[in-house]
Each structure stands twice: as structure tokens, then as C-alpha cells.
Amino acid sequence: MTALRVGFVGLGNIGKPMALRLAAADDIELTVFDVAPEPLAELERAGASVADSVAALGVRVDVVCVMVRDDAQVRDVLGELLGVTGDAQTVVIHSTVAPTTAEELADTAARHGVSVLDAPVSGGPMGAADGTLAIMVGADDGAFERAAPALRAMGSKVVHAGPVGAGTRFKLARNMLHFVAFTAATEAQRLAEAAGLDLKALGDVVRHTDAITGGPGAIMHRETAAPLAPDDFWYGVFDHVRALGEKDLGFAIELAEQLGVEVPLAELALERLAPGLGLPPTDPSRTEGEH
């Protein structure tokens, strides 16, 4: 079987381990480019070829993976690729870009006969190093199939989310949850610190129990966010979640008031948990009685 010729541009904290996974794949012939010499040397030792420029890389490969810092750099790389006549007909943007960037670049690239996919990743440097990244892909079917061998060499969960742009929207929704949860964690730490608790021990417990229960993802099984009908299977499940959540949030807010700690996210969660789960708004008198 002929090896897929893949180029990789951008060998940073996540890009380098992603490229190393490609270099280790039996059915991929890898060429890399970066402005820093150290990661290029490491990739060369791993068996990759090194190109002198993005344009030089573009004429030697079939698929180009791009993992650079921001929208401006993504646009620069694509501009260099479109400026040469080569075999790179598929460009995969792994960088997390603005919501409309991938579609805009795909329109431009299509006039040059080049397909663009947006395929941001989740899992960080650790997931990149061990090949367990989640890769969320926006592409038409043909472009997805052309890039799939490279994507599957780098990630253990490759999701074809829809047309170009869907990968970025998928990643933004996932990371919104990530960083809202981080903010909630800082609120919980302030409460715990005011209560005289060990914050490192709290973190250990959170990581331990989230590994068992699935954390916020534990409620993410429905195919719609619409309100639930009373005879829906999930109604009873989420009504139980609501009851537990409102009770514990109420007690946490009561503790925060006693300690003089502001917990606005907890207060907002108490207000929005039920409708967010697809249930009717809770009678305020119920939660007031649980404080």
C-alpha cells in the first residue's frame, strides 16, 4: 500500500507530539516545517523529512496538517500553500480559530482546487503524546476520507462533526464547558479555603470522583436540549439530578453566606439547573426551604 504523504506545520507544545505520532505511523510519510530548529531536529531523528519552507513542504505532500498559534498564522500558512503548484490538495487546520475562519478559508482554497478541513483537538499535550486526542472535524465526505488516516494516527476519537466550520463550533462548545467549569472550580476553592479546608485534597477528590461519574459529561446523552416530556425516560433521571443539585447548591450557598464568600456561579446554577436539564422551573419556595 502506498504511504500517505503528510506535511505538518507548527511543532509547538501540542503540534510536536502530534507530528511524532505521524512519524511513528507505518503508512505515513511525514514532512515537517517550523520556524524553530529544535523541534525540526527532533522530528528528523524520528524519521520525518524537513522542509525549508511551507511552500517547499506543500509540493511534496498530499495532506497538510496545520497547528499554529492563531488565525493570522493559519491564514499565512494557507496563503503560502495556495501560492505553489503541488500535490497538497487537502489542508487540515488543527488550530482553534474564530467561528467563521474555516469557512472563509475553505471558500478561498476551493478556487485553487484545495479542500480545507477544520479539525481542532482536545486532550492537550498528554493526549497528543499518547495518541488519544479527540479530533473534531468539519469537512465534506471526500476531504474527510483523504485526511482520515492521518487523523486516526493522532487521535483515538475522531468525530466527523459536519461540513467545514462544524469542527470549530464543536470545539468552542466543548471548551466553553471546560473553562466555565474551571471558573466554577475557582469559586469552590474560595468557599473551601474560607471554610478552612485543604484545597489540594479537594482537587484530589474532584479528579477522583469525576473519573468515576464522568463529570459534567455525565448528563450529556440527549440529542436535543428541548424541554422534556413527563413520560420521557430522561425526565425521571434528570428530576433526580435536579433534586440533588438544588439541595446541595442551596446548602453551599448557605455556607457561603455564613462565611462571607461570593458564589455567583452557584447562585446562577441554582436558578438555571432545572430548565437547563429540560425540566419545568422549580418553585422558588422549594429551594428556599432547602437553604
Q: What is the mean pLDDT of each run of 10 residues along the chain (291 residues)?
A: 92 98 97 97 98 95 97 96 79 97 96 95 97 98 97 98 98 96 98 98 97 95 96 96 97 98 97 96 62 44
Question: Range(s) for CATH 3.40.50.720 in the chain?
Answer: 4-163
Please identify which of the residues 16, 157, 171, 247 carries the catalytic annotation. Answer: 171
In CATH terms, 4-163 corresponds, of 3.40.50.300, 3.40.50.920, 3.40.50.720, 3.40.50.150, to 3.40.50.720
- Going by CATH, does the domain composed of 170-290 fall within 1.10.1040.10? yes
pTM: 0.91
Q: How far apart are CA 197 and CA 248, in angstroms?
A: 18
Q: Which pLDDT value is given to residue 1?
A: 66
User: Is-catalytic flag, 16?
Assistant: no
CB 226 within 8 A of CB 278: yes
The gap between the terminal CA atoms of the chain, to the nearest Å, is 66
Question: Range(s) for CATH 1.10.1040.10 in the chain?
Answer: 170-290
- Rounded-to-10 torsion of CA 63, 64, 67, 72: -130
